[in-house]
Amino acid sequence: MTRIILASKSASRRALLDGAGVPFEAVGSGVDEDIIKGQEKAKGASPAAIALALARAKALAVQADAEDLVIGGDQVLDFKNTLYDKPKSMGEAAERLTAMAGQTHYLRGALCLAQGGDVIWSHEETSALTMRAASREEVEAYLNSVGDRVLRTVGAYELEGPGVRLFEKIEGDYFSILGLPLLPLLDALRTRGVLLW
């Protein structure tokens, strides 16, 4: 029997698969993202290519039986042609949100399916998010209301929660913004006969 393995401990990715009724196991990939990002940046890779390299590495890093399908996914934040990692402190989160206020940034996401040690399917998606012009005081009020859980997100906001109040326009797939392009993934799983409907 084919198992579906999510190569991630991400709470949002797990919640999306759970919500869709997909049976899966979650396993941390153990991939050192900083090393891969450094290698890809040294090659001059675009933010989208870096997200794809990370997704591929995660899908291939998990030990699985030959018939199992391993989902690897990643997302990077591209703001003014600079790649951002998750903020390391609330102060850094406040600086980032204040800098992005009133402007557009891009979430470059990628998803891969691996089977038998090979990537057999991949998908890339870009979302454009325009934040409203918010003051530093508004940003700090937001951060005080949600706490340090925003440090688990690359944008320092949770679009599925109060963070949505920071935005004026969003172009892109909601599920992809949360870190998992769910509809293309479900189609790929149905195509491979892992999901019946």
Q: Which residues are catalytic?
A: 74
Which letter, b or e, does each residue of 70-105 get, where b requires 16 or more Cβ atoms within 10 Å of its Cβ?
Answer: bbbbbbbbbbeeebbebbeebeebbebbbebbeeeb
The Cα 112–Cα 121 span in angstroms is: 6
The Cα 196–Cα 171 span in angstroms is: 31
Query: CB under 8 Å to 47, separation ≥6 — which residues?
Result: 76, 78, 83, 106, 108
The first and second tokens of residue 116, run together, are 């038998």
Given a contact cutoff of 8 angstroms between Cβ atoms, the answer to whether 104 and 129 are in contact is: yes
Classified as helix, coil or strand, 48 is helix
